[in-house]
Structure 1
């Protein structure tokens, strides 16, 4: 225990010690001494020794744009984390709270564009913003605040873990000890800064897609790039979006609009393009739109990408812009992720997959900040495979030019693809109706134009169009054209001229679903008449199957690969079958405003497809469920070989339940499932029932099903000349019946439609019982009748078979 005298002595001694002067706080210069400076939009300091990036933030509460991208990625089309992929654009700002800086994302979906500060505040206070990051202020001086931004860069800003989870690859998270800020990559420019980090995601590593592509599926290392961009100045004039423009839109809800007007405000997405002489019909521009092709694209791919992307130059010239659009090779040493560059990336994946173009925009106005195109490298190889499968150029007596023709077709498709994806980054949407006018638009999905020549051979010489089409010229004028004070009237006149020229516009919403209604909005079709194109492709398919042999396969390939080349030939009409199905219960309509309709610029309502056309389409589709269409000829069956040792079937093959042997049943079931899935789509059956109820002359759902059953279960015996014909027909019959029961079981049919089709199923069971047949047909009829009765009696006690797997077709 300390005595009172000792305590007093201690106090006296302490008082006798001279006071030590307080250490002066370190300045910004002290903290950045020895670090590499990158002055610019936001001053950046590189600390390579400690693996840090410091920011000197001067502008608080001043919004700017933030976006992520992936310079090094995963390589899986199924997961969708691609090299060069751009993330979403966010409008953010730095805010100071005490001794910390916050990075706050504004909620740009809800605004009040008003001069009244209180009105603006009321909206801002009504909807949540987001704090994306917070960090301690290291030093403040002269209005600048120094922060270590490394923790932001080491977090998953691109959403990689969420994407892995969404695609069922497991729960991944950033491993901080195996991640690093790449300080040497940090750059700052007058209007943007570019920052990069290496992120390692740790996870289970057990799912198929990550196992297919990763060096170690439990440890996925990628790079994340962050761009921070000054907002564009107020010199850009946004253009109101019109639903018939063919463009993309960006928008928000504006609570400051007058009460009689819509809250929904939409702007056309487009680049800033200004004439040096605004009054001239044709003029040079202040700053051209320039795209850069990835230096990693090899020849002849590189030249094809450059050529195709340059097609848009002609459309800009016709719209009155001289030298306004260029495409060049990316300069050596340039960072392809730098937001200042519009880039066409040549991206490798483990499998073929989709290409896409992203227009990164200012959410306030729709002004495009950057165009980022991703082109999957294996698509061109699929085009060559299809061409070789049709031409059979590797036979002993094959013409020498056929191999070259296959490559030329693939490169022609690649030019079109380059133009197409660049079109998206110019602000243009898909137009799936343009193929009705030949090479109507590069914004459609083109099927190769296939025909038979005078000698009966398959002709691919004009498989794909060259250059932009009339729709593309229209859309450039509508999106970018400058019209002075008469803009609204001039744009209305453009739409009037497009309609007079027969141009139609159908976008993704009315084209992608199997049950879509518009007969013109078709992916991968060609020709103005779906029925005539079907008949032409039927002849091409038959010729290709008759000629199918090892001549479709290059000499150095293992023989088992021939099956992968059968798939696109056997399923050659898969897209045109959708064109026929679209006629059933189909109707045409237009995208327009109420004012357009009142002014005579467009028509309102739906216009049903004539009954005779619908029945012709139904007749052709019903025939695709017959053995005559589905059976493979002997020359095909006799050449198919199992994969060699060390090789295996992939997703591009038909499924097999016969070990390593080609499974003809699976091929037939896939072919039948293509048509049955379209014909038994719930939306289509509901429409057929309604159109018949409104107009008895139109086919209904019951009539359609009656015809399908007559061509399948109730048909006459299959001719003996068809190899395996009875077995083929039985396989197709079961696909149709399983599809019908699944349609009833899905709960998407209206009650009356459901009752009608259940009645048809009951009638089929009765017919099968009265007409038992013989042999294997009798066995199937007996089991089918039992299945139908059991399902109708108690669906919960019957396990239905799922639809057969169809090998992937798109993208082609």
Structure 2
């Protein structure tokens, strides 16, 4: 009998437990939509109603309220990954499964498809325990899922050395004002607080209590659209792309498939050369953008209508101010955000894409609000507009706003599929997808011409690119014929596309593809900028700042003037040991690659050596007399020059910055190797020995300029020795380059010592070089070049593994 009572008691406890755990959804707020959910507002919980198992959809996370530091990178509006997912039931759980779209099977053979699917891992993002099942619907508690660090904030903080943080559940919760549901997308937002210790300086500067970092994260479940027609990627066309491996591809065709990213844009009349569109591409500008900035951004963004018109689409594209109350993070809207950070930083264009086809579902532009102030500062140093009794020169604001127009068009370009096109500044500034440097000309009377400071309107390259990505073939013309014809016409017109991988690397070789440069000849433009810079420094004075500002603030205005040529210097360096090439495809009309001609290389070297002459580097004495030590409350910052002279302005440090830049590019190991090899292939081209001798002869000349110029010259001599020592022991330099560099160091150590300070300097330099040459070399193993894949790769114990 006792056993029966015991069993009955257990049964009653079990039933009570079941009733206790059961949720009464009738008392909760139900929000119908793509994934219906229930809100228990009193307990801060959310329950999902999952009624579509094994059905693919898109899951995107984003940061709706950020950290505010450019260096950390966790901006308001930052998008996370695009994940193709599905809910999959297993026992008493529903898994959220991230499907692997990198390896695909397009086949009618189910066994083949399964073999490929099972060969590569999937990722289960979450396991939801089923609370109840009713009429084929599974109810799960999603609270913990939505209160996780889905955006990887803790990882970002750790990677940027800002401390170790993790989610504090007691300080995190759903953010109900922005938790919404719609027929095709579900938007759930949460306030997430991460707590930790060891906050770095960047985090401390933007967080009121660095031990607790509170942000907001958005989770978006998005219904997939009908499959969009894909378009093949071509390296000459200038588009971002998605790629995957299709293991059902015939052996005689490429395994890797590449598809460009683009919006869905359809003509009402596909047969018409120019047609209205079924649905235009519309971008909405953040209502938090102030005037006159907002008007400039809208005007610049609307330039893209010109490109779509040229591609055959009428009224296909527009930018307008967002309506009041619009949720900018809603996937249904393309948006332009005005993002604030504690310091100036990059703007960028990102997008939500359909991983199946590359279709852009949402374009999202983030524009840093402080960038415009830097453009204004550049104009301020050139124009020095604050002369007492005179109105401020309006060209400063015009320059800043014109730059914003171009910036808006540039970042929108990324979100409609286009990559950077850095060679177009050499072809009449033919693309907004380049990084433009302001073109400011000096007239014969010494006044400045700002009329061409930035180009206005969409570029010719941009029109060709939009035609490739969005245009329709003519009736009777195949898409393949249309695309190839478009590319051939583009290059017949003299345009070219070169992007980041060939432009940002300090070892870059392309003669025209650079960032923040201008002109068809990099060296000619460098010489022009040096002349402009020298002339503006002669007249630089107190009119560069406003009355009532600390005089030391002159330094912030002087910095961009002194460093005006820094990017053109980099562009010029790439001509030395450079190669003129394109993304050529077999059978197309682009030229074959070739070394840069001797004349161009010698002119580039001469221009670079001009940048490090004491005459160019020395700051005029009247400027030094105007910049006092920093006052209380206005300490040095990342926008001022470094100093080795304590609180006073260091007159040598700016010169050292330029010398470092010049030698960094000139004696980059890859460039040194190429200079040596080009002469072996064509002895009319400069040899590495000739370049070393030319640089050494100028830097170690016997002429002393006098005054501060002497110290600049001695600093440059010491820097050259340091860079040659580093090159001579670089693991990336060839054996011969290292040997020739060591020989040059021996020559330098034998130079005439002179008298006085010069003797002390040269003696120290000689001892430094001899110390390096005489000590047993700390032999650095030269790095090995990787051999192209041959036999199947992997651990030796696995003889049949293949690795991409």
TM-score by length of 1: 0.92
* In 1: Cα distance, 2:21 partner to 2:428 partner: 65
* In 1: Cα distance, 2:548 partner to 2:78 partner: 35
Aligned to 1:551: 543
* In 2: Cα distance, 1:147 partner to 1:339 partner: 24
Aligned to 1:60: 53
1:519-561 deviation line (CA, Å, top 9, x unaligned): 1111111122223212221221011111111111122422111
Question: Aligned with 2:574: secondary structure?
Answer: helix
1:40 paired with 2:33, answer yes
CA contact (8 A) 1:519 1:582 kept: yes
Aligned to 2:121: 128
1:633-680 deviation line (CA, Å, top 9, x unaligned): 112111112221111110111111222111112111111111111111
Aligned to 2:599: 612
* In 2: Cα distance, 1:148 partner to 1:318 partner: 52
Distance 1:70 1:13, change over 3 A: closer
Matches within 5 A, 1:739-750: 739-750=723-734
* In 2: Cα distance, 1:362 partner to 1:207 partner: 37
Aligned to 2:150: 157
Matches within 5 A, 1:485-504: 485-504=477-496
Distance 1:256 1:603, change over 3 A: farther
Pick aligned residue for 1:435 from 425, 434, 450: 425
Deviates more, 1:28-37 or 1:87-96: 28-37
Aligned to 1:753: 737
1:731 paired with 2:715, answer yes
CA contact (8 A) 2:72 2:156 kept: yes
1:718 paired with 2:708, answer no
Post-superposition offset of 1:515:
1.2
Distance 1:794 1:117, change over 3 A: farther
Pick aligned residue for 2:510 from 487, 501, 518: 518
Runs of 4+ with deviation above 4 angstroms: 10-17, 19-30, 795-798
CA contact (8 A) 1:205 1:219 kept: no
* In 2: Cα distance, 1:130 partner to 1:279 partner: 45
1:762 paired with 2:746, answer yes
* In 2: Cα distance, 1:795 partner to 1:281 partner: 74
Matches within 5 A, 1:383-782: 383-396=375-388, 400=391, 402=393, 404-483=394-473, 485-594=477-586, 598=587, 600-604=588-592, 606-712=593-699, 714-720=700-706, 723-767=707-751, 771-782=752-763
Pick aligned residue for 1:208 from 172, 176, 201: 201
CA contact (8 A) 2:58 2:224 kept: yes
CA contact (8 A) 1:51 1:182 kept: no
Post-superposition offset of 1:593:
2.8
Aligned to 1:3: none
Post-superposition offset of 1:12:
8.6
Question: Aligned with 2:81: secondary structure?
Answer: coil
CA contact (8 A) 1:44 1:187 kept: no
Post-superposition offset of 1:258:
0.7
* In 2: Cα distance, 1:12 partner to 1:571 partner: 91
CA contact (8 A) 2:104 2:246 kept: yes
Aligned to 2:288: 296
1:295-317 deviation line (CA, Å, top 9, x unaligned): 11111111111111111011111
Pick aligned residue for 1:268 from 260, 263, 273: 260
CA contact (8 A) 2:551 2:626 kept: no
CA contact (8 A) 1:495 1:601 kept: no
Distance 1:57 1:786, change over 3 A: same
Post-superposition offset of 1:716:
2.4
* In 1: Cα distance, 2:535 partner to 2:776 partner: 44
Aligned to 1:803: none
Aligned to 2:798: none
Deviates more, 1:420-429 or 1:104-113: 104-113
Pick aligned residue for 1:233 from 201, 222, 226: 226
Deviates more, 1:664-673 or 1:425-434: 664-673
TM-score by length of 2: 0.93
Question: Aligned with 1:292: secondary structure?
Answer: strand
CA contact (8 A) 2:164 2:198 kept: no
Question: Aligned with 1:33: secondary structure?
Answer: helix
Post-superposition offset of 1:454:
2.8
Post-superposition offset of 1:395:
2.4
Question: Aligned with 2:748: secondary structure?
Answer: helix
Post-superposition offset of 1:53:
1.7
Post-superposition offset of 1:498:
1.2
Deviates more, 1:516-525 or 1:735-744: 735-744
* In 2: Cα distance, 1:79 partner to 1:709 partner: 42
* In 2: Cα distance, 1:636 partner to 1:745 partner: 40
* In 2: Cα distance, 1:509 partner to 1:551 partner: 42
* In 1: Cα distance, 2:143 partner to 2:440 partner: 56
Aligned to 2:342: 350
* Alignment length (residue pairs): 776
1:775-810 deviation line (CA, Å, top 9, x unaligned): 222112111111111112337789xxxxxxxxxxxx
Post-superposition offset of 1:25:
7.3
Distance 1:466 1:27, change over 3 A: farther
* In 2: Cα distance, 1:140 partner to 1:81 partner: 39
* In 1: Cα distance, 2:600 partner to 2:424 partner: 21
Question: Aligned with 2:24: secondary structure?
Answer: helix
Distance 1:13 1:622, change over 3 A: closer
Question: Aligned with 2:478: secondary structure?
Answer: helix
CA contact (8 A) 1:581 1:617 kept: yes
CA contact (8 A) 1:251 1:364 kept: no
Post-superposition offset of 1:27:
13
Aligned to 1:137: 130
Question: Aligned with 2:96: secondary structure?
Answer: strand
Matches within 5 A, 1:307-386: 307-386=299-378
Post-superposition offset of 1:615:
0.7
Post-superposition offset of 1:227:
0.9
1:73-104 deviation line (CA, Å, top 9, x unaligned): 00111111101111111111111111111111
Post-superposition offset of 1:576:
1.0
Distance 1:745 1:795, change over 3 A: farther
* In 2: Cα distance, 1:79 partner to 1:15 partner: 60
CA contact (8 A) 1:791 1:797 kept: no
CA contact (8 A) 2:728 2:737 kept: no
Aligned to 2:85: 92
Question: Aligned with 2:121: secondary structure?
Answer: coil
1:794 paired with 2:782, answer no
Distance 1:11 1:529, change over 3 A: closer
Unaligned residue ranges in structure 2 (runs of 5+): 780-804
